[in-house]
Amino acid sequence: MNFILILLTALALVSCDNNKEKEVDAEKARVLAKEAYIYAFPAVEHNKAVWSVLVNSHAPINTFIADTKLFTHENTAVVSPNNDTFYSYAVCDLRHEPVVINVPRIENRYFCLQLCDIFTNCPDYISTLATGEGPGNYLLARSDWEGDTPAGIDKVIKIPSTIVLILGRTQVFGPDDQDEAALIARGYKATPLSEFAGTTPPSGDPLTWSYGFYDAKNGTVEGFFQLFNDMVAYQLLNAEDKALMEKFKSIGLEAGKPFDISQFDADVWAAIQAGAGEAKQEIEEQTLLIGKEANTWHYAPANSGNWGTDYMTRAAAAWKYIYVNTPEEAVYLTVDTDSQGEPLNGTNTYRITFAKEQIPQVKFFWSLTLYNDKGFLAENPIGRYNIKGGDDTLKYGDDGSLTLSIQHGEPEASPTTNWLPAPEGSFYMILRMYGPAEEAIKGEVVFPAIMKIN
């Protein structure tokens, strides 16, 4: 009897200690919620793309779907879309076994399959730059997989997620090339390893995506942290992640667990909401500061796609332009002001002149695309949304320079082939370089500023 009494007393003491560990005062809760929100934002925002593929587009798991129409001003689903490539998408389930990604032969055309984990890191690529023109079979496995690699596999790629979002881009040379490009964009395949090798598939429930569309920028704090608990369960955490998640337990953050606000006193819950609000404001402010500026052009962050423990930059990038490529694969620069620092506006007339040595140096191709103040391609009478390097209709100066006219109305003096039409109001532009030169990867290239000529 005494033994049972002692045992019950001991259990009660342990229970009390555990409860104390979970207790958190309001100020500590605010600080932790702010840190957790910044850490969690990319994972929560990532759900939009996964949801779009699996739920909105009704794509089966481990199946590529393709968007085989070039974007125009009528496309308003995503901001800053590129008009250079067709997009392909897939969500691969690595929980029970790897998946083999098959790429057909792709000659004299750039392609890229960007492999994204839950936190929007891009640990590796299957692309013209990374793996060659193909054909090829690439085994995609979670980072803790230790199985045998069957014959016919060209490369094993490990990624710290049990589900992987693949964003594919296939170069389109122009309107007359769309049919051929579409065949390639639809030609990528994802096959479970057991099916590829002809072996018995492992047991395990099929993946169902029951998480609805959620707007991380405008949703509730409760919804945000609940979705984070759901999303982080699909990530294989490293030591830094595990240490943070251990800290965040006291404010209800645990992989795969319900986020239950009833466990908090009113002042603690108010503090958690306040901390999340502070974090959201700081992330939005940080979007104006990330990356390097050079002569009014803004580089994406140097650590794009491989964020490490730079959680604030990772969050700001997810807010501003999620799934930005690693600089080795592609470098994007944005510009929204002229040489005098004034915002770009179609009521003005602009010129940009690339000296011969300033024309973007790339292994594949470059483009300059214009967007209106809402982030969409700008409607114009000739249906031209960008200027592409390698376009044989462009007119160059005798010294090899390239001058582009950027204005609302058709230019009278300069060639219309070099005209990038602008809307009547505010706009910005993105210079994309695929397979950039080493100087661009390092952020050392300085491009000419946009000159207002009126």
User: Mean pLDDT throughout 406-434?
Assistant: 93
Q: pLDDT tens, 364-405?
A: 999 999 999 988 999 999 999 999 998 889 999 999 999 999
pLDDT for 125: 98
**For residues 249-263, average pLDDT:** 96
263 CB-near residues (< 8 Å, 6+ apart):
22, 252
**4, pLDDT greater than 60:** no
Q: pLDDT band for position 234 (50/70/90)?
A: very high
Residue 314 structure tokens: 């990772």
Tell me the C-alpha to C-alpha distance, in Å, between residue 264 and each of 26, 254, 257: 10, 15, 16
Residues 182-197 have pLDDT tens digits of 999 999 999 999 999 9
Average pLDDT of span 133-162: 96
Band (414; pLDDT cuts 50, 70, 90): confident
Q: Scan for tokens 């090339």, then name that residue.
A: 177
Residue 91 has pLDDT above 50, yes or no: yes
How much is the pLDDT for 413? Answer: 75
Per-residue pLDDT band for 58 (boundaries 50, 70, 90) equals very high
In the chain, domain spans: 23-48+210-286, 62-197, 293-452
Rg from Cα positions in the chain: 25
Structure tokens at 404: 């582009």
pLDDT of 1 strictly over 80: no
DSSP string, 268-312: HHHHHHHHHHHHHHHHHHHTTTSS-EETTEEEPPTTTT--TT-HH
CB–CB of 314/119 below 8 Å? yes
Q: Residues 216-222: contacts with CB within 8 Å, 24+ apart?
A: 216/41, 216/44, 216/45, 216/48, 217/280, 217/319, 221/33, 221/272, 221/273, 221/276, 221/277, 222/259, 222/261
Asked if 411 and 388 touch (Cβ cutoff 8 Å), the reply is no
pLDDT tens by residue, 261-277: 999 999 999 999 999 99
Strands 427-436 and 362-372: antiparallel
Inform me whether the pLDDT recorded for 305 exceeds 50: yes
Residue 453 predicted with pLDDT over 50: yes
Query: What's the CATH fold of domain 23-48+210-286?
Result: VPA0735-like fold (1.10.3360)
For residue 166, give the nearest of 146, 144, 138 by alpha carbon: 138
**Residues 434/364, Cβ–Cβ less than 8 Å:** yes
Helix (H) or strand (E) holding 232: helix 221-232
| C-alpha span between 156 and 168 (Å, rounded) | 18
The CATH number assigned to the domain with range 293-452 reads 2.60.120.600
Distance CA 103, CA 113 (A): 9
Which H, E and C letters describe 164-225, residue by residue?
EEEEEEEECCCHHHHHHHHHHHCCCEEEEHHHHHCCCCCCCCCCCCCCCCCCCCCCCHHHHH
Contact between residue 317 and residue 289 where contact means Cβ atoms under 8 Å apart? no
The model's confidence at residue 20, banded by pLDDT at 50, 70 and 90, is very low
pLDDT over 60 (residue 289): yes
Q: Which of 209, 193, 201, 118 is closest to 159 using CA atoms?
A: 118
The secondary structure of 57-74 as a DSSP string is: S-PPTT--EEE-S---TT
Q: Looking at per-residue confidence, does 359 or 416 come out higher? A: 359
Report d(CA 31, CA 190) in Å as an integer.
43
CB 227 within 8 A of CB 40: no
In terms of C-beta density within 10 A (0-12 exposed, 13-18 middle, 19 or more buried), how is residue 21 classed? exposed
Predicted confidence (pLDDT) at residue 223 exceeds the cutoff of 70: yes
Average pLDDT over residues 290-313: 94
pLDDT at 174 (0 to 100): 84
Three-state secondary-structure class, residue 447? coil
Residues 109-125 pLDDT 10s: 999 999 999 999 999 99
Q: How confident is the model at residue 78 (pLDDT cuts 50, 70, 90)?
A: confident
Instruction: Tell me the CATH number for domain 62-197.
Output: 2.60.40.1610
Per-chain mean pLDDT for the chain: 92
Per DSSP, the three-state class of 87 is strand
Q: What pLDDT, on the 0 to 100 scale, is given for residue 313?
A: 97
Strand partners, 89: 65, 167
pLDDT above 70 for 16: no
Instruction: Give 94's pLDDT tier (boundaries 50, 70, 90).
Output: very high
Of 435, 68, 25, give the one whose Cα is nearest residue 268. Answer: 25
Structure confidence at residue 18 (pLDDT): 39
Assess whether the previous peptide bond of 301 is cis (omega < 30° from 0).
no
Average pLDDT, integer, range 317-332: 93
